[in-house]
Structure 1
Amino acid sequence: MNLWIRSPVACLLAILCDTSVAAPPRTEFEQGFIGRQWVSETPVFDPYPFSGQCKHLESQDLQRNQKRIHGFRIDYFNCNGRGLYLLEQSIGDGKVKVVDALHLPRFKPGERYMMTGDCEINGNTDTDFIAVVRLGRREKVDWKTGIRAAWAPKPETGKIEELSTRDIVCWRMTPP
């Protein structure tokens, strides 16, 4: 028996409500990265038509519950002022292949991206995800006060999936 219902009252109470969000189809820009392969630490997309638009920012191995997920990593890019988030899988001989790509939304005033370490999900700071956050003057924000959206790479499905922001808290970074 399926107990999940879509009743507005039950959803407001956060009980028996299916909160999963269907992933929107990937854009042509995103699809252009999926399936790309390379041999190096930093992705090189030439002769990819968008390669001149994107600057590589960071690579990280995926982790869950303080354990590295072998064979998967994420790469972050800035592509004409918008973030690009890639899920990549090792395919042997030092090669990696892009299995999913997500072109993140443009910022609204005062927003920025925050990632693992600056944010926690269910009290855990070592699960990879990225969030669009507006801190303002706050030291801490949650789904009610400034987290607009969040996504996480899911190696089990080979997709970058949207997360519910309800269980996410982000903290203002302390200066070094």
Structure 2
Amino acid sequence: MGFDLALELVDLLSKNKVVAGLSISVPVPHAKNYQQNFLERNISIKTAKQYLLKKFNIVSSRADNILDDLGISANERISWLKWSKRKALTIKGLLANNNIISFDYYGISADSIDWINDIIQHELNKEKCFIGFNNLQYMEEQEPYDNFERIVVAYNGKI
């Protein structure tokens, strides 16, 4: 199941896939992993601020606030950022114009999960909403965050 199931659910939530009997009134954008092609990585180099401005149509001052919150330099190349910082940048970029998003933990190292969760917890306190997908590889016995509700999906008894 894992990531394939997460992608299926993302398609449903974002209204990219229609299923009879399921009604999603507002599409939920997904914070997918930032990917760049050879041209973007080597020729038309994109900085963290350019990414926020162009991809999410955020005003410059808001982009600066997001970068400050994440401890990322405005001129830092996207290709040089750690995977978790790219994910956090995408999450915060989407939240600038949305109250609910979906995201996944796939590709984020165990030592970065707490940092991402702290960002999410902070945004939850601002009344934002998240739907997160994880393969439960690093799952604690007890959910450590007050505003998180864990829903475990199993198939034939397998998680």
TM-score w.r.t. length of structure 2? 0.27
Structure with bigger RCO (C-alpha 8 Å, 6+ apart): 2
- Structure in which a larger fraction of residues adopt helix: 2
Q: Which has the larger radius of gyration?
A: 1
Select the structure that is richer in strand.
1
